[in-house]
Structure 1
Amino acid sequence: MQDTPKTRLHVDSPLAEGQAIGLDHERAHYLRHVLRLERGDAVAVFNGTDGEWLAVIDGFGKGWCSLTVQARRRAQQDGPDLWLLFAPIKRGRIDTVAEKASELGASRIWPVFTRHTDPHRVNMDRLRANAVEAAEQCERLSVPDMPEPVQLHKALADWPAERVLFLCAESGSARPVAEAVRDFAGRPAAFLVGPEGGFAKSELDDLSKLPFVVPVGLGPRVLRADTAVFAALACWQALVGDWTASGGDARPPFRAAEDARGQPI
Structure 2
Amino acid sequence: MKDCPRLFISPDTIPPMVAGGMLELGPAQAHYLGTVLRQQVGGAVAVFNARDGQWHGVIDHLRRDRCHVRLVEQNRAPAATAGLCLLFAPLKRDATEAVIRMGTELGVTRFRPVVTERTNTHRLNAARLESIACEAAEQCERLDVPEIDPLVPLVDLLAQWPEGISLFAALERSPPGPVVVPAQVGDSVLIGPEGGFSVREHDRLRGCAFVRPLSLGSLVLRADTAAVAALALVGAGLKAVCDTGS
TM-score normalised by length of structure 2:
0.90
In structure 2, what residue type is equivalent to 1:54? H
Report the CA distance between 1:175 and its aligned residue. Answer: 4.5
2:35 corresponds to 1:33: yes
In 2, the alpha carbon distance for the partners of 1:57 and 1:212 equals: 50
Moved more, 191-200 or 202-211: 202-211
Q: Can you list the C-alpha shifts for 1:4-59, whole angstroms capped at 9, x where unaligned?
A: 56200001233222232111111111100111111111111112221111111111
Q: Tell me the residue number matched to 2:220.
A: 222
**Do the aligned residues in 2 keep the contact of 1:51 with 1:141 (CA within 8 Å)?**
yes
2:116 corresponds to 1:114: yes
Q: Superposed, which structure 2 residues align to 1:155-174 within 5 Å?
A: 155-171=157-173, 174=174
Against the structure 1 CA distance between its residues 163 and 34, is the aligned structure 2 distance closer, same or farther, given a 3 Å change threshold? same
Report the CA distance between 1:204 and its aligned residue. Answer: 1.3
In 2, the alpha carbon distance for the partners of 1:242 and 1:126 equals: 33
Q: Gapped runs of 5+ residues in structure 2?
A: none
Q: Can you list the C-alpha shifts for 1:99-119, whole angstroms capped at 9, x where unaligned?
A: 000000011111111010001
In structure 2, what residue type is equivalent to 1:221? L
In 1, the alpha carbon distance for the partners of 2:45 and 2:230 equals: 34
In 1, the alpha carbon distance for the partners of 2:135 and 2:241 equals: 21
**Partner secondary structure for residue 34 of structure 2:** helix
Q: Tell me the residue number matched to 2:50.
A: 48
In structure 1, what residue type is equivalent to 2:233? C
In structure 1, what residue type is equivalent to 2:85? W
Q: Tell me the residue number matched to 2:192.
A: 194
**Partner secondary structure for residue 111 of structure 1:** strand
Q: Can you list the C-alpha shifts for 1:45-76, whole angstroms capped at 9, x where unaligned?
A: 11222111111111113411111211101112
Q: Tell me the residue number matched to 1:79.
A: 81
Percent sequence identity is 42
In structure 2, what residue type is equivalent to 1:222? V
Q: Superposed, which structure 2 residues align to 1:65-144 within 5 Å?
A: 65-144=67-146
In 2, the alpha carbon distance for the partners of 1:211 and 1:176 equals: 19
Q: Gapped runs of 5+ residues in structure 1?
A: 247-265
Indicate which of 5, 8, 12 corresponds to 2:6: 8
2:201 corresponds to 1:203: yes
Against the structure 1 CA distance between its residues 233 and 19, is the aligned structure 2 distance closer, same or farther, given a 3 Å change threshold? same
In structure 1, what residue type is equivalent to 2:63? G
Q: Tell me the residue number matched to 2:210.
A: 212
Q: Superposed, which structure 2 residues align to 1:143-154 within 5 Å?
A: 143-154=145-156
Q: Tell me the residue number matched to 2:176.
A: 176
Report the CA distance between 1:244 and its aligned residue. Answer: 8.1
Aligned length: 240
Report the CA distance between 1:78 and its aligned residue. Answer: 3.2
**Do the aligned residues in 1 keep the contact of 2:83 with 2:235 (CA within 8 Å)?**
no
**Do the aligned residues in 1 keep the contact of 2:55 with 2:75 (CA within 8 Å)?**
yes
**Do the aligned residues in 2 keep the contact of 1:178 with 1:239 (CA within 8 Å)?**
no
Against the structure 1 CA distance between its residues 207 and 61, is the aligned structure 2 distance closer, same or farther, given a 3 Å change threshold? same
In 2, the alpha carbon distance for the partners of 1:211 and 1:43 equals: 48
In 1, the alpha carbon distance for the partners of 2:242 and 2:201 equals: 34
Report the CA distance between 1:240 and its aligned residue. Answer: 3.0
Moved more, 93-102 or 59-68: 59-68
In 2, the alpha carbon distance for the partners of 1:55 and 1:152 equals: 44
In 1, the alpha carbon distance for the partners of 2:168 and 2:179 equals: 12
